[in-house]
Amino acid sequence: MRFKSYYWILVFVGLVMGIILTMQFRVTQEITKSSPSLERTMALSQELEENRKDREKLKLQVYELRDRLDQAVTVPELGKLKEELDRVRGLAGMTDINGPGVKVTLNDSPNVPQPGQDPNIFVLHDEDLLILLNELKAAGANAIAINEHRIISTTEVRCIGPTILINKNQRISPPFIISALGNPDTLANSLKMKSGVLDLLQVYGIQADVKKMNEVTIPAYSGTLAFNHAKPKQ
């Protein structure tokens, strides 16, 4: 009887140990599956270290650039550079400009077309404005504006129905008031010379008035600048 009791006790203990070992094995397997491999851990650690080094390099670059900026601000040449920048901005039409010049007022002809006459010859067109603008530039105009809109190197002048489009989105209609900065006598004489632009327009009754001004104000260009093909020089 005693032997049988020991036997069953040993069997029970064996079963319990087997269950415990089985559960421990499964838990170990699950931990192994869910934990990253040693190679992966090492790779991540190396990548983290490289990122830290890159960050330190970028920090050094930031400090260096800040030092260079501080030095540039204190350089005496900065004032000259600012003056040059202001001068170039003025030439590009990005600032208001004042000085002597002329003011030209153009309007459509008040004449009524006779039967058989083309009514278009009694109204101002984009090509009329272009001829006048080119005449002013050739006479040395430093800056020009039409109806308070600055004319710059990229300004286009073209007909859009009954109006004229300039600077991509500005529609203007008669009367056209052209302000030009420059020598008043030279500018006025270039427009009033015999068989000149105003002579040709007045043949059809186009109203034109040229005034010499001691001071005219040419406003800064207010539109946007967009270049489809040109790129800054590297």
Q: Tell me, yes or no, if the pTM score tops 0.75.
A: no
String of DSSP letters for 132-189:
HHHHHHHTT-SEEEETTEEE-TT--EEEETTEEEETTTEEE-SSEEEEEES-HHHHHH
pLDDT at residue 183 in the model? 96
* Separation of alpha carbons 169 and 29, rounded Å: 72
Closest CA to 101 of 61, 154, 141: 141
pLDDT > 70: percent of the chain: 75
Residues 7-12 have a mean pLDDT of 56
Q: Where are the domains of the chain?
A: 2-72, 98-218
Distance CA 197, CA 206 (A): 11
Residue 140 pLDDT exceeds 90: yes
Q: Is 72 in contact with 78 (CB distance < 8 Å)? A: yes
**Across 2-6, 90-94, 114-118, 142-146, least confident range:** 2-6
| CATH number of this structure's domain 98-218, picked from the four choices 3.40.50.720, 3.40.50.970, 3.30.70.1880, 1.10.3720.10 | 3.30.70.1880
Q: In whole angstroms, what is the distance from residue 123 CA to residue 91 CA? A: 33
Give 101's DSSP letter. Answer: E
The pLDDT assigned to 15 comes to: 66
